[in-house]
């Protein structure tokens, strides 16, 4: 069965650079969620989209923005990167069952 695809899987950036993470949800899923998981931490909800509109907003820094496109894929844009942004970033997609999420493999971002 098709799963959530995230790209890139690994990304290394310098401080103050920008990064764009991409997420391709499971086909026919209309909801996308983004999470950040720091080293030794639990996943923290950043933001979600339903039918290309922002639906819920969590602890997403102002330096980050995200959107969902017409083909339902989503991108998380991160600017002015800081060392503390080094983390695993997970995308999850959801369909008809509210709140049920299927996670991708994550993007490991390292900021040097």
Partner 1 sequence: DAKTTQPTSMDCAEGRAANLPCNHSTISGNEYVYWYRQIHSQGPQYIIHGLKNNETNEMASLIITEDRKSSTLILPHATLRDTAVYYCIVRVEEGGSYIPTFGRGTSLIVHP
- Positions touching partner 1 (CB under 8 A) are 4, 33, 42-45, 55-58, 88, 90, 92, 97-106, 108
Min dist. Cβ of residue 100 to partner 1 (A): 6
Give the C-alpha separation, 22 to 3, whole Å: 14
Looking at the Cβ atoms of 23 and 81, the one nearer to partner 1 is 23
Min dist. Cβ of residue 102 to partner 1 (A): 6
Looking at the Cβ atoms of 4 and 111, the one nearer to partner 1 is 4
Neighbours of 81 (CB within 10 A): 22
Min dist. Cβ of residue 27 to partner 1 (A): 17
Looking at the Cβ atoms of 2 and 18, the one nearer to partner 1 is 2
Q: CB–CB of 89/43 below 8 Å?
A: no
Give the C-alpha separation, 74 to 77, whole Å: 10
Min dist. Cβ of residue 50 to partner 1 (A): 11
Cα distances from 67 to residues 10, 32, 40, 111, 112, in angstroms, run 21, 10, 28, 22, 26
């Amino acid at each position: 069965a098709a799963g959530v695809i995230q790209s890139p899987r690994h990304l290394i950036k310098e401080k103050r650079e920008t990064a764009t993470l991409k997420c391709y949800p499971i086909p026919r899923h209309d909801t996308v969620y983004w999470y950040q998981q720091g080293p030794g931490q639990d996943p923290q909800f950043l933001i979600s989209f339903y039918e290309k509109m922002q639906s819920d907003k969590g602890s997403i820094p102002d330096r980050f923005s995200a959107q969902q496109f017409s083909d339902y894929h989503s991108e998380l844009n991160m600017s002015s990167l800081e060392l503390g942004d080094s983390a695993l970033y997970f995308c999850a997609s959801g369909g008809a069952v509210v709140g049920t999420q299927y996670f991708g493999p994550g993007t490991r971002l390292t900021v040097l």
